A and B are shown apart, each in its own frame.
Chain A
């Protein structure tokens, strides 16, 4: 008792520094000290898969951020004629791979229909004929590679007077033929060919538009069947004409006047170029609404990543505060807090997400209510990790030493315990990102959350849900988002593993 009192009351001036003036006989340190982060970086660098994953994540992030800004298309872009267009990269033109083509089997009528499109404008809808065979009924079938862009062919458009004039002027300036003569068959009922705009030739049976088998001349060529008149400037058309026009004083008709303006038949590929300034070419194809999947994917990835990073950050902060308090104080505080987090952790996430959707989606929108759902139970994981780390470190000697020196609770928590557990906690926070992206995609796919597809928001899960039902016919709609999310998940997992090893100071020098 006496001793203790004496020790407590040592006057300040009695203290003196012992070794300050002494010469150090030990050898001086020759190398530079390596700090915590430097050491972590050294370890991370040597982990090749983690570095590759990190670079992949950066690439995907850049993709999500840059593509919506530089892409020809926006998410609100929808083209009614290029629905379910196939992926096309211009560098693979006519290679049979990624060229916007698809293998199709057609009977001879279908083959001639597709063949006719290219005969008129010189853009072959059939890339390649693989083979043909005759079946038992004597009908010839063709295995074709069909260009999903050029096979759209021609469409009828209604133009106002100003638009019509502008289009003619464009034709005169560039010398590109956009308008083609109106087909005489255009008011029949056709199952294909955009109201019969592609039937510019004579048919075997004019009354039956549906069969659409062409009548060929003796040389096996199509016989043009355009609307004609003796007036070369019918409906005010003064622009380019196709070859063969005007022979024997018979002129083709390029447009018809109607109540609102003019009705013209245009080559859709060129018309698209005229309207947008570029030819249609979708790197990842389009979905059933005619949206560009490449752009949608970037917008969706951006949405998913921003949501995930928000959730990870908020959960990290909440979890660290809650877990630190639990872990540091222990005892009754811990007991009560642990019960609360236990209950929250036991609620299945689906239940939380659904209830939030049902209650809040109408008030604050589906995105915000999804965010709330992720936060309500998401921080529990971080909190329990932090708590475990605290229990592990708080009994250690260096913490005891800090306390003996009079460090306050806050200082011990944030200066001594926290940095030691940082690796595990940060890794946990990073790993919530792929988890959130996966959960969101699952909820969207199951239609439990509905991000409005007409608005400017989409997500990877929404895109997967869109592709549902097109897996057999147009697998690209679902496969590109699916592959994207798979790469994202793999990268994040590899990166997380690398990060965990890198931030663990006890692995220092373990490899060498």
Chain B
């Protein structure tokens, strides 16, 4: 197991390195945008460019880039937006919004999704199951932005229950305050429909398969009630597949949703990424590329490894 984990992590670093090099080279091959005259920190930006060796060969620049990251944790400064501010500081300032919105979303989605999935599996082939399965099919297919438009139109414009845009920090006081939560509700709703449907589908599929297993029959035969058999045997076995999915969701909250953040004006990481592309701020773009790639890689590894920890039958790296 340890050997397998180490191997996976080494592979991850290799992949990460190759992708970073490719990204860096491709970005540096693009024409360097001029520093905006309006920025008051223009000298800082120019000095930073000089330090990063913008007119040296690309591989030297890459070396300087890595060096400044590893020795000083310096990811560069914003050139086209947040001029003169450190990339890392800006990212850390944006990250809480993304995390909080997504955290609320999955905290609502997971119990609902699991509950509906369990209910559907227990009522399999009855009308309740048919209704849930049909709705799941619809909700899983419809793109999240369609919900966003509908939620915004119905709840924000027509009914006026929620504010159109996120409350600012000065209005709401704190990012965890009730006012902030209310203004986040439309985004949370739009994010949750698809996740709930996904969890429902997986839970139903897993549980209904597990329920037909022989050990369930045995459990009932030896005198357990249906509820006992389900909670002690069926659910535990179904969780083997569902739990890694939950873990994956939790890592995914760092990345957030580009389009939902854009629609609801959440000042999170996703919005930062889209803005960095639209204004061609390559320092932000590069740092966020690394960020997103890392999230993808780490969640892949954690999910794989978690199978091994959760399910004693799986021993990874062993020759079978």
Binding site for B on A (CB under 8 A): 49, 339, 342-343, 346-348, 350-351, 354-355, 358-359, 434, 438, 441-442, 445-448, 464, 471-472, 475, 478-479, 482-483, 485-486, 489-490, 492-494
Contact = CB atoms under 8 A, between A and B. Distances in A.
Interface in B11-60: 11, 14-16, 18-19, 22-23, 26-27, 29-30
Contact of A351 (B29, B280, B292, B297): B292
A348 B145 contact: no
Given A471-B149, A483-B146, A486-B142, 9 more contacts: A347-B19, A347-B293, A348-B289, A348-B293, A441-B145, A446-B258, A448-B274, A471-B153, A472-B157
A442 B259 contact: yes
B180 interface: no
Nearest to A473: B157
Contacts of A446: 258-259, 262, 274, 277
A194 B142 CA distance: 41
A201 B285 CA distance: 60
Contacts of B125: none
A492 B141 CA distance: 9
Contacts of A434: 141
A20 B260 CA distance: 71
Contacts of B217: none
B173 interface: no
Contacts of B317: none
B137 A442 contact: no
B138 interface: yes
Contacts of B146: 482-483, 485-486
Chain A interface, >50% SS class: helix
Nearest to B156: A472
Interface string B243-282: 0000000000000001100100000000001100110100
A471 B143 contact: no
Interface of B: 11, 14-16, 18-19, 22-23, 26-27, 29-30, 137-138, 140-143, 145-146, 149-150, 152-153, 157, 258-259, 262, 273-274, 277-278, 280, 285, 289, 292-293, 296-297, 300
5 contacts: A346-B16, A348-B292, A472-B157, A490-B137, A490-B141
A441 B143 contact: yes
A442 B148 CA distance: 13
Contact of B26 (A355, A445, A471): A355
A355 B278 CA distance: 12
A442 B29 CA distance: 26
Contacts of B300: 346
A351 B26 CA distance: 11
A486 B141 contact: yes
A446 B278 CA distance: 9
A489 B274 CA distance: 24
Nearest to A464: B145
B296 A348 contact: yes
A478 B273 contact: no
Contact of B149 (A359, A478, A489): A478
Given A359-B26, A478-B149, A490 B142 contact: yes
B84 to A, nearest CB: 24
Contacts of B293: 346-348, 351
Contact of A343 (B18, B26, B149, B280): B18
Contacts of B140: 493
A156 B249 CA distance: 60
